[in-house]
Amino acid sequence: MNPLIFTCIGFITGISVGIVGIGAGILLIPLLTYFGVSIKTAVATGLALQLVPQSLPGLLIYHHKGHVQWKLCFYIILGSLIGITLGAYLVNHHIITEKMMYLLLFFILFCSTIYIGSICLKLILI
């Protein structure tokens, strides 16, 4: 384990989260697995980051500028708590295999790329 590499990964994903709100799923998980971390450990690391340490400073800055809608956040957090619990149960009780985890990550990243790419094309063509 190289602390410098993992600190750099944290730095890169932190910048991404602060700018566009994306980092754990799209950057962190693939980067960690690339550097030899198992996908289950990578997911657990992503969940640890979302507890508070990674997001709180950015959240406070966005809050001070009036961009946080707390009611919306409440409903998303509520659904997320249920979803994360179910997802972790499915993986850790071997209902979702490691192979399926990689396929789901691929599908989500692929669909995200197509969606964001179409938005970028529209912005470029305008």
Q: What is the mean pLDDT of the chain?
A: 89
Residues 48-104 have pLDDT tens digits of 888 767 788 888 999 999 999 999 889 888 988 899 999 999 999 999 999 999 999
According to the model, what pLDDT value does residue 48 have? 84
State the pTM of this model.
0.74
Looking at per-residue pLDDT, the higher value among 25 and 101 belongs to 101
Q: What percent of the chain has pLDDT over 70?
A: 98
Contact 23, 13 (CB under 8 A): yes
Domain that holds residue 45: 3-125
Task: Domain count for the chain, please give it.
Answer: 1
According to the model, what pLDDT value does residue 52 have? 65
Whether the per-residue pLDDT at 22 is higher than 90: the answer is no
Q: SS3 for 94?
A: coil
> What letter does residue 38 receive in the DSSP assignment?
-
According to the model, what pLDDT value does residue 125 have? 92
Contact 38, 45 (CB under 8 A): no
Whether the per-residue pLDDT at 42 is higher than 80: the answer is yes
